[in-house]
Amino acid sequence: MYDQISSNKFRSGVLIVVFMSLVALVGWVFGRFTGFGNWGLAIALAIALVMAWSSYWYSDKLVLAISHARPVGKETEPYIVNTVEGLAIAAGLPVPAAYVIDDPAPNAFATGRDPEHAAIAVTTGLIQKMDRLELEGVIAHELSHVKNYDTLVSTLVVVLAGTIALLSDWMLRSFWWGGGRRRSNDGGGEFGAVFVVAGLVLAILAPLVAVLIQMAISRKREYLADANGALLTRYPPGLASALRKITNDPSPLRVANKATAALYIENPLRDHGGRINALFDTHPPIEERIKRLEAM
């Protein structure tokens, strides 16, 4: 288990470095391709920083609002609040705020920029359909996301992916408006033409690569949270049973959308889009997650 945790942390770090390098590359090519020169890289970094700053401070409030999550206390949901509090103390974490989403589909997510400003939201379906050990497994999984700063990593990854998509779109529009042809003429002969072709290829493929990296990072963090959650409860079968119930439940999560789907313990949109969409799923296959938990 500890080897898996260390391996996932290292691989996630490497992927983030690759992601940031891709942003820098796209920014540099954007500057050369559009005539902005080195300002292209500066523009890319500025966009990423502004988006990251706003996401850092406000993403948790936005996610909770979009999900129609309501805050609860010991007076309204003592079972949930006490479970979150007990596991947080066991994990050595500040107690996150507890939220409930009125939805029959069993699911949960964590959000917040750091452990001191974290929140855990569970659906009423999760409360009703899980036994005590299964519920503890799910909440321990979400607390592990908080402890590992996965919520912050997820925000960073979304910002980087959005920056790449924005710059790629600008490059393509610049080409159609004549910027690419001007760059070819100014660059001098074959080298300028090759640069234009390379810029077009990068503009088309960079968003796809960004999605693949985002998917890889998210999957690694899910495996890591499973391992940490099982370590916290000392009972891996509880989380494994909860995942099995969640994935087999027929109720659709009404508040789910593509912007928030990656946050949940299991992708609530897993049945949408068919096999092609499954290739870009931010969650690992549920069967593999259960298999790893049962092997612990």
Residue with tokens 């799910």: 138
Amino acid at 37: G
Residue 129: which residues within 8 A CB-CB, separation 6 or more? Answer: 106, 245, 249
d(CA 269, CA 142): 19
Rounded to an integer, what distance in angstroms lies between the CA atom of residue 89 and that of residue 208?
41
Distance CA(163)–CA(156), nearest Å, equals 11
Rounded distance, CA 177 to CA 172, Å?
9
Task: Tell me, yes or no, if 142 is annotated catalytic.
Answer: yes
CA 288 vs CA 221, 226, 243, 284, 295: distances in Å: 14, 11, 11, 7, 11
The separation between CA 254 and the C-alpha centre of its own chain, rounded to angstroms, equals 20
Task: Pull the structure tokens for residue 28.
Answer: 């540099």
What 3-state DSSP class applies to 103?
coil
DSSP secondary structure letter of residue 120 = E
Q: Which of 77, 134, 136, 142 is catalytic?
A: 142
Residue whose C-alpha is closest to residue 122's, from 148, 83, 152: 83
Return the active site residues. 142
